[in-house]
Amino acid sequence: MDEAKKSSTDWQELTQLTRGQRIVVERVRIVDKNIAIEGSFELPQLARLGLEDQVFITAFVRSHGSIKEMERIFGVSYPTIKSRLTRIAGSLEFVETNPTPSKSEILERLRCGEITPEDAIREMEALK
């Protein structure tokens, strides 16, 4: 069995064993470098999903978000696909992609000429 297939099988077994319970990884090894890191690591959100939801999300990404393609792959209706996406999305925390800048970040952007003094004042007032 090649390494990728074994890894996938191991992951499936781990997912079934934990049944959605919170797990913490305490050791990570970079195989090609023979380096190990020990500590306490939370799994990424997508890795915490059940195996069926991981397969579903993988299919969704591979189909470029096409619900029509998802209907064809899984043999279910549009509302069923939307309902499942909504359920999965509800279980994931939103990662802020445009966080509110700090005062120092605003001042740095002003110093670099990226924003006008008026923009800086407006952004500073929005922080209050």
Per residue in 73-92, pLDDT tens?
999 999 999 999 999 999 99
Q: How far apart are CA 52 and CA 40, in angstroms?
A: 26
Say whether both 84 and 117 belong to one domain: no
| Amino acid in position 41 | F
Say whether both 49 and 91 belong to one domain: yes
Angstrom CA distances, 13 to 18, 19, 45, 51, 80, stand at 9, 10, 18, 9, 27
Q: How many beta carbons lie within 10 A of that of residue 106, not counting itself?
A: 21
How many residues in total does the chain contain? Answer: 128
> Residues 96, 98, 99, 100: is their CA dihedral positive or negative?
negative
- One DSSP character per residue, 36-70 reads EEEEEEEPPHHHHS-HHHHHHHHHHHHTTT-HHHH
Say whether both 55 and 37 belong to one domain: no
Say whether both 50 and 65 belong to one domain: yes
- Longest CA span, the chain: 63
State how many domains the chain has. 3
Predicted confidence (pLDDT) per residue in 94-122, tens digit: 877 777 888 999 999 999 999 999 999 99
Say whether both 39 and 50 belong to one domain: no
Top pLDDT among 31 and 3 is at: 31
Say whether both 85 and 111 belong to one domain: no
Domain that holds residue 103: 97-128
State the average pLDDT for the chain.
86
At residue 8, the pLDDT reads: 64
Say whether both 59 and 86 belong to one domain: yes
